[in-house]
Amino acid sequence: MSSAPAAQPDERPAPRAHGHPVQAAIHAAIARLAGFRPARIVGEPDENDARALIDDLLALAAIVDPVVAAVGEYAVSALGMPRAELKEFEHQLRGALEGNATFCLESTMRERVTSAAADSAERRVGLRRG
């Protein structure tokens, strides 16, 4: 009579009944991304359009940042990372976008508005002379 080989202990942690915690955050992000509707610029863009694009970026950050935070939480539980380090996983995308991409959008719109105002002033002066 032969016996089955002894099972080798699995060195990986047993999977959680509800799945990987980061995967759960990813599924939530996917659902939110599926419902995301980006701003559409129609006609001559104005400051409201730039603000709408900034709002889109911040909305996307609000969707993705919880996934990054979930990685941090997982690192605490799986690696024993100190909980104090979690702050390094919070609002990372938002922090990267604010002042960088948002600044570019704001500056571009300011330059367009300033340029349009200067062009308009030049046209008025030209009309007065003509």
Residue 28 lies in a domain: no
Cα-based angle 82, 72, 62 (whole degrees, multiple of 5): 140
* Burial class of 87 by CB neighbour count within 10 A (0 to 12, 13 to 18, 19+): exposed
SS3 at position 11: coil
Could you list the mean pLDDT of each consecutive 10-residue stretch along the chain, which spans 130 residues? 45 55 96 98 93 97 98 96 97 95 93 78 63
Residue 6 lies in a domain: no
Residue 72 lies in a domain: yes
Q: Is the pTM of this model over 0.85?
A: no
Question: Into how many domains does the chain fold?
Answer: 1
Query: Which structural domain range is residue 124 located in?
Result: 46-129
> How does pLDDT run across 19-50, given as a tens digit for each residue?
899 999 999 999 999 999 999 999 999 999 99
Residue 8 lies in a domain: no
Residue 19 lies in a domain: no
Residue pair 66/25 in contact (Cβ under 8 Å)? The answer is: yes
